[in-house]
Amino acid sequence: MYQPVLEDLTKLLVALLIGAIIGAEREYRTKSAGFRTVILITVGSTLFTIVSNLMSNDARVASNIVTGIGFLGAGAIFKEGANVKGLTTATTIWISAAIGMAIGIGQYSLAISVVSIVILVLVGFTWLPTLIDKLNTELVYNFTIDSVDSSNIKNLESIFKECKVNFKCVKQAKRNDNIHLSYTIKASQKNHEKLVINLFDDKNIISFEA
């Protein structure tokens, strides 16, 4: 009688420890799903899986865990300007639940292997996105230029070409004597910096922001 109870408590304890490992990394990076949230997700998924096993291994409980975690993950995703943020946090929530489910069915080795991969990706691979951003970053630039001279747009785009950036105009508007333009610009960090310097020096640009 006591053996199953002890086994289930062991599963919950392992889930707590693994959730704490992943959650500590998220908390360190001040993400929305931090230390306590990831622990509760991992422990909760383990508990639901244990209950599922007690209910004759009803697979519908497991599928409902995935659905519920999907709602939690969606809440961590938000849009900031032209960028979508929170995808890594949402994915961490999703995989923490999967690890909890693995613990719930007693697959400790699998759970430990997966958490090792998760920590490797979250901690060990941080340099790669930084390197990619240095080589190619997409930003949205908003400009206000004088509409009196029709060549101002061509002059602006000639600056883009001079700085060797890829650009695309995504919005145009005219208010009074000013033209408002939005461009998505892809370039290396070095070329973005060069572009900003050249834009500051151009007297035909009334204002810009990126």
Query: Which parts of the chain sit beneath pLDDT 70?
Result: 1-3, 56-62, 78-84
Instruction: Judge if 9 and 108 occupy the same domain.
Output: yes
Provide the domain count of the chain.
2
Instruction: Judge if 141 and 86 occupy the same domain.
Output: no
* HEC readout, the chain: CHHHHHHHHHHHHHHHHHHHHHHHHHHHCCCCCCHHHHHHHHHHHHHHHHHHHHCCCCHHHHHHHHHHHHHHHHHCCEEECCEEECHHHHHHHHHHHHHHHHHHCCCHHHHHHHHHHHHHHHHHCCHHHHHHHHHCEEEEEEEEEECCCCCHHHHHHHHHHHCCCEEEEEEEEEECCEEEEEEEEEECHHHHHHHHHHHHHCCCEEEEEC
Instruction: Judge if 10 and 93 occupy the same domain.
Output: yes
Domain encompassing residue 108: 2-125
Which pLDDT belongs to residue 16? 94
Instruction: Judge if 12 and 86 occupy the same domain.
Output: yes
Instruction: Judge if 36 and 61 occupy the same domain.
Output: yes
Instruction: Judge if 88 and 39 occupy the same domain.
Output: yes
